[in-house]
Chain A
Amino acid sequence: MARPMPRVSHMTNAKLGRAIVGLAAAATLTLALNPASAAEAPADRVLQPDKYTSDKGRALGQKYQGALRDLNAKIYHCMPWLEVKPEGIGFYKPKHLDGDIRYLSLNVNVDQQPAPEFTRLSVQDRVSSMFSRYVPHLLRSMATNDLVRDPNLEGFTVITSWLKAMPGSGQPAVMETSAAFIPKALVANFLRGQATVAQLAEGAHVMAWDGETKLGVMKPRAWADDFVLTYKVAGYTPDPKISCQ
């Protein structure tokens, strides 16, 4: 897991472990008897149909409830370092567009330690890196054939947030956020192999935030990045019932 733990010596850990190993057995037993399970993807990550503010949004939410649940489950099990935010999946209207324009949106936190070299990049380059790493791959999971053909859907939104830098002692963690809005026709071309990752970035409307502060529109460059396809959380095997292809 990417979260840092306080650095302490292995010897201290081992001594403490031996001293309270009896307590561990009791704690493990308590946990085993707890009926609450985190093996299922949390249901609150998908916006429920009754929460849309227009008939168009509600109809899409109703029609594709199963597809959105599947998307939530796939990310939960196959990309466990991504955390879908509560109500982070839904047919939302991008705020910068006029009218009842519906995009399938996915809003995730990327659970990663900010490497010093990543922190030293410009915001533009961090946005470009995160776009390259996540947007093309998440679009492949989001844009099913049915959705691409649906005339009521106009595009796709991928929102990624990441820790900007390791917070100092007593300082709050600040997340940077990038939101990429991509028209459906461009996504369809990309999925058919008729547009490159670079062209996907060129045609996307991308905005960024530093914490709660809006940085405005960005023009990311993008390139092929197979991290999502190759990265494995050490020791973790996805639920075999879920297809991670």
Chain B
Amino acid sequence: MYGKHWRSVVIGTALLLAAGCASKEEWDIWRSNTSHFQSKEHYDFSMKNRSGAATVTRQDVAMAQSQSWFGKAVTVDQAQILER
């Protein structure tokens, strides 16, 4: 009886941990992005829109574009296509 009780506690705890914790994939994503927010602006945007429908200003869009989330992209230079 006492043993059965402990088995239930162990199984229940294991299930809770499995359900409540991030998956390996989620942890990989977390590790590859070393900060919770990309920037102060990202944080401000999240705080401003914590509930209900988000309000997006042109500044928000411009900031997101200028934050270079993926770093410097590999792309053709305009001078390869056009001349001044």
Give the interface of A toward B (CB within 8 A).
1, 3-9, 12-14, 16-17, 21, 24, 27-28, 31, 37-39, 47, 51-53, 57, 76-77, 80-81, 83, 85, 87-88, 90, 92-95, 105, 107, 109, 111, 157, 159, 161, 163, 167, 169-170, 172-175, 177, 179, 207, 209, 211-212, 214, 233-236, 238-239
Q: A13-B46, A28-B48 are in contact. Are A235 and B76 (CB under 8 A)?
A: no
**Contact residue among A4, A76, A174, A207 (Cβ-Cβ distance under 8 Å from B81):** A207
A21 with B53: in contact, given A5-B38, A8-B36, A9-B22 (CB under 8 Å)? no
A3 interface neighbour in B53, B59, B69, Cβ under 8 Å: B69
- The listed residue with most A CB atoms (<10 A of its CB), out of B42, B72, B80, is B80
Q: Report, nearest first, the 3 A-B pairs whose CB atoms are least far apart.
A: A173-B70, A92-B82, A175-B75
- CB-CB under 8 A from A94, the residues of chain B are 81-83
Q: Can you spell out 11 A-B residue pairs with CB atoms less than 8 angstroms apart? A: A4-B69, A7-B29, A8-B26, A28-B48, A92-B83, A94-B83, A107-B78, A107-B82, A173-B71, A177-B81, A209-B75
**Cα of A62 to Cα of B74 in the assembled complex, Å:** 33
Chain B residue contacts of A95, Cβ below 8 A: 80-83
Residues of B within 8 A of A175 (CB): 73-76
Contacts of A13 in B (CB 8 A): 46
In the assembly, what is the distance between CA of A179 and CA of B54, in Å? 35
Q: Determine if B5 is an interface residue (Cβ-Cβ < 8 Å).
A: no
Interface centre among A51, A52, A179 (most CB of B within 10 A): A179
CB–CB A169/B28 < 8 A: yes
Q: Is B11 an interface residue (CB 8 A)?
A: no
Q: How far is the CB of A205 from chain B (nearest CB, A)?
A: 11
Question: Is the beta-carbon distance between A236 and B57 smaller than 8 angstroms?
Answer: yes
Chain A residue, CB-CB nearest to B60: A1
Q: Is the interface of A mostly helix, strand, loop or mixed?
A: mixed
Q: How far is the CB of A176 from chain B (nearest CB, A)?
A: 8
A51, B26: Cβ atoms under 8 Å? no
- Listed in ascending order, the chain B residues whose CB lies under 8 Å from chain A are 22, 26, 28-30, 32-33, 36, 38, 40-44, 46-50, 53-65, 67, 69-78, 80-84
Task: Say how far B29's CB is from chain A's closest CB, in angstroms.
Answer: 5
CB-CB nearest in chain B for A215: B76
Please determine whether B83 and A111 come into contact, CB atoms closer than 8 angstroms: no
Shortest distance between the CB of A122 and any CB in chain B (Å): 19
- Cβ–Cβ contact A5 & B42, under 8 A: yes
* CB-defined contacts of A47 to chain B, threshold 8 Å: 84
List of B residues within 8 angstroms of A1 by Cβ: 56, 60-61, 64
A87 touches B32 (CB 8 A): no
Q: Report how far A22 CA is from B65 CA in the complex, Å.
A: 27
**B75 interface neighbour in A6, A17, A81, A161, Cβ under 8 Å:** A161
A157 to B80 CA separation, bound complex (whole angstroms): 14
The complex places the Cα of A24 from the Cα of B59 at a distance, in Å, of 17
Q: In the bound complex, how far is the Cα of B70 from the Cα of A94, in angstroms?
A: 30
Given A172-B72, A211-B76, A24 and B83 touching (CB < 8 A)?
A: no
Interface centre among B28, B48, B57, B73 (most CB of A within 10 A): B73
